[in-house]
Amino acid sequence: MNKQNLLSTHNLFTLRLLLSLLGTYIGYSYRHTSHDYWFTMMFLFTVIAIAPGYYQFKQDGDNLRRICSRQISGIHTIPGDKALTSRLLHWTGGLGAAIVVYAYHSSGRIFHEEAGLIVLLILALTTYLDGIQTGWRCIFTGLFLGLIAICVAYFDSYVWQLVVLSAAAVAVSYHWNSDVVS
């Protein structure tokens, strides 16, 4: 299996849903430590979102110095050049918001459970907005993360329902046209 198959939209979608389900279990069983998990997922989802664009950037043989000089001058000759930069800025904004929430939590201004829910909502919104540019799989993942936040906040038994929903989504994604990053 090569990097192109590993970075297919279906595989990345499946990975995001599995990580979300693991977070669901952690939020259900260990509510006081879920903020650490969701904060870590913010970093990991950023890497997952940037990896296909970075891999394509490396395949094109371009180097960082030329990218930076084009960004400063406003010239975008490679189609993925501007997309990679905008995605990087988008996810950096989400990371910045999560870091602020974590700083509030560390200073004692908000409690563990609230910090976890807020970071989860930031992750859901960042993923959803990334999906507007990239496709339905990220939109679904963002909505799924938002649903997890609602379930953690209001319901007592929700894990198996979310497992069924994510399994159905993975099946639909598998049978849908799964493009491979080229």
pLDDT in tens, 112-156: 889 999 999 999 999 999 999 889 999 999 999 999 999 999 988
**Integer CA distances (angstroms), 128 to 67, 144, 160, in order:** 27, 9, 23
Taking residues 23-35, what's their average pLDDT? 88
Q: What is the pTM of this model?
A: 0.83
Rounded to the nearest integer, the mean pLDDT of the chain is 84
The pLDDT assigned to 62 comes to 53
Taking residues 46-72, what's their average pLDDT? 69
Name the amino acid, one letter, at 51: A
Q: What would the pLDDT profile of 68-95 be if each residue is shown by its tens digit?
A: 555 454 544 445 556 778 888 999 999 9
The pLDDT assigned to 77 comes to 47
Where residue 48 falls among pLDDT bands split at 50, 70, 90? very high
pLDDT value at 161 more than 90: yes
